[in-house]
């Protein structure tokens, strides 16, 4: 299978007149403006190192389908030579649900757009209103159904920890995105960026961001909904850029360089707990077998999963073995009694 890469092009608020409470795209993207010639240079630079990979140009950052029609078609025309030559295999864009209609999809189809990511964020109208999102859950459903009926690949983007949102709201959002025919999903814990209405709300005590632990657990619940329906989760958490790494543009919220792995660890822990009886396993060994490369996620950052399982269930130790026979995500869970004469060194504390 050929390697797949995206060339991200950030349109940065073009076509998006809304100021959602949580949004500062200039900080998220690391860019402050959009220039078509710079876009071309970015594409050429990426293609120069792409080798034989399957390449997709992805328009992110703003609401691509809300751009002035003349500018949108100018951008799309500019990338047509890459599609026609085969150097780029497809196009992808992200947009708002209320910026999808038959006319827009006619344009996208004519220029070879294959995948549209909808910034749904929540399927709770209460939450959408609290975020000043400017569209409703019904708008999201209409847009998703229209995309699927026209043959586009629909990817749903959602957030956890938005103002007024509960864990139950987020699970329902994931379930409804899945039911609408999504072929992929992104899950973003809410981060409080400076120079946003949400930042002011946090400073005034009207909003409290999720802790890292809360965000991991709630994101894991959303991811588990998609996984149960074989819908790939493309990303958990925002892509780090220099401003985010420095933290200079962030007031608070769950920012972590390996948030996706933390969520993966939480999902493994949940699966292990689901296979164990609610009792003490004092004096026993928990033996886990996983696919190659999964050990760090199963153990958890700073051995958190090992420590938790030993303390919560009384295991003397937890061992993890990798097997080439297992697929990614598979896990075999066994418990063994340890004879006193064979007591092993504790490796979980």
Q: For residues 60 and 10, is the Cβ–Cβ distance under 8 A?
A: yes
What is residue 250's predicted lDDT score, i.e. its pLDDT? 87
Phi, psi of 159 (to 5 degrees): -125, 150
Higher-confidence residue of 298 and 337: namely 298
Lowest mean pLDDT segment, chosen from 8-17, 245-254, 307-316: 8-17
Q: CB neighbours of 128 closer than 8 A, spacing ≥ 6?
A: 121, 122, 135, 136, 137
Q: CB neighbours of 83 closer than 8 A, spacing ≥ 6?
A: 89, 90, 91, 112
What is residue 240's predicted lDDT score, i.e. its pLDDT? 60
Task: Indicate the pLDDT class of residue 21, thresholds 50, 70 and 90.
Answer: low
What whole-number percentage of the chain has pLDDT above 70?
A: 88
**pTM for the predicted model, two decimal places:** 0.87
Task: Indicate the pLDDT class of residue 45, thresholds 50, 70 and 90.
Answer: very high
| pLDDT over 70 at 33, yes or no | no
What is residue 245's predicted lDDT score, i.e. its pLDDT? 54
Q: For residue 78, give the 3-state DSSP assignment.
A: helix
DSSP labels for 88-129? S-EEEEEE-GGG--HHHHHHHHHTTEEEEEEEEE-S-HHHHH
User: pLDDT per residue over 260-278, tens digit each?
Assistant: 999 999 999 999 999 999 8
Phi, psi of 311 (to 5 degrees): -75, -40
What is residue 10's predicted lDDT score, i.e. its pLDDT? 87
Domain spanning 4-257: CATH 2.70.70.10: no
Beta bridge partners of 91: 57, 113
Q: How far apart are CA 72 and CA 59, in angstroms?
A: 11
Q: For residue 37, give the 3-state DSSP assignment.
A: helix
What is residue 283's predicted lDDT score, i.e. its pLDDT? 83
Give me the count of residues in the chain: 349
Q: Please state the rounded mean pLDDT for residues 44-55.
A: 94
Q: Count of CB atoms within 10 A of residue 205's CB?
A: 7
| pLDDT over 50 at 26, yes or no | no
End-to-end CA distance of the chain: 42
Q: For residues 62 and 24, is the Cβ–Cβ distance under 8 A?
A: no
| pLDDT over 50 at 348, yes or no | no
Q: How far apart are CA 75 and CA 64, in angstroms?
A: 10
What is residue 16's predicted lDDT score, i.e. its pLDDT? 53
**Which residues in the chain belong to E strands, given as ranges?**
4-10, 54-60, 90-95, 113-121, 153-160, 184-189, 192-193, 233-236, 250-252, 284-291, 317-323, 331-337
User: pLDDT per residue over 68-88, tens digit each?
Assistant: 889 899 999 999 999 999 999
How far CA 325 is from CA of 124, 232, 294, 321, in Å, comes to 42, 22, 13, 12
Bin 319: left if φ > 0, else alpha if -120 < ψ < 50, else beta. Answer: beta
| pLDDT over 60 at 207, yes or no | yes
Q: How far apart are CA 91 and CA 56, in angstroms?
A: 5
Q: For residues 348 and 318, is the Cβ–Cβ distance under 8 A?
A: yes
| Strands 233-236 and 184-189, bridge-based pairing | parallel
Within 13 Å, how many C-alpha atoms sit on residue 222's CB side? 36
Distance of alpha carbon 187 from its chain centroid, rounded? 3
Average pLDDT, the chain: 89
Domain ranges of the chain: 4-257, 277-342
What is residue 259's predicted lDDT score, i.e. its pLDDT? 94
What is residue 265's predicted lDDT score, i.e. its pLDDT? 97
User: pLDDT per residue over 155-166, tens digit each?
Assistant: 999 999 999 999
User: pLDDT per residue over 75-134, tens digit each?
Assistant: 999 999 999 999 999 999 999 999 999 999 999 999 999 999 999 999 999 999 999 888
Distance of alpha carbon 17 from its chain centroid, rounded? 24
What is residue 302's predicted lDDT score, i.e. its pLDDT? 93
| pLDDT over 50 at 31, yes or no | no
């Amino acid at each position: 299978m050929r390697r797949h890469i995206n060339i991200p092009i950030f349109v940065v608020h073009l076509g998006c007149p809304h100021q959602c409470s949580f949004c500062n795209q200039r900080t998220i993207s690391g860019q402050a403006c959009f220039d078509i010639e710079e876009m071309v240079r970015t594409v050429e630079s990426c293609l120069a190192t792409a080798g034989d990979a399957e390449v997709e140009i992805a328009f992110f950052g703003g609401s691509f389908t809300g751009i002035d029609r003349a500018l949108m078609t100018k951008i799309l025309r500019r990338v047509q030579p890459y599609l026609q030559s085969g150097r780029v295999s497809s196009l992808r864009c992200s947009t708002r649900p209320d910026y999808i209609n038959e006319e827009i999809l006619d344009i996208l189809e004519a220029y070879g757009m294959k995948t549209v990511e909808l910034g749904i964020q929540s399927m709770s109208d209460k939450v959408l209103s609290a975020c000043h999102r400017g569209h409703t859950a019904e708008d999201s459903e209409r847009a998703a159904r229209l995309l699927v009926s026209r043959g586009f690949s629909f990817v749903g983007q959602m957030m956890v920890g938005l103002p007024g949102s509960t864990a139950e709201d987020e699970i329902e959002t994931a379930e409804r995105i899945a039911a609408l025919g999504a072929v992929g999903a992104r899950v973003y814990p809410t981060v409080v960026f400076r120079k946003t209405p949400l930042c002011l709300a946090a400073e005034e005590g009207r909003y409290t961001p999720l802790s890292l632990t809360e965000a991991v657990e709630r994101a894991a619940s959303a991811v588990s909904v998609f996984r149960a329906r074989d819908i790939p989760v493309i990303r958990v958490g925002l892509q780090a850029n220099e401003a985010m790494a420095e933290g200079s543009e962030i007031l608070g919220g769950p920012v972590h360089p390996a948030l996706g792995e933390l969520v993966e660890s939480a999902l493994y822990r949940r699966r292990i707990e689901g296979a164990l009886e609610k009792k003490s396993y004092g004096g026993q060994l928990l033996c886990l077998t996983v696919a190659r490369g999964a050990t760090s996620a199963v153990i958890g950052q700073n051995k958190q999963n090992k420590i938790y399982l030993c303390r919560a269930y009384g295991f003397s130790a937890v061992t993890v073995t990798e097997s080439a026979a297992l697929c990614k995500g598979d896990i075999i869970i066994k418990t063994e009694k340890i004879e006193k004469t064979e007591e092993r060194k504790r490796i979980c504390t």
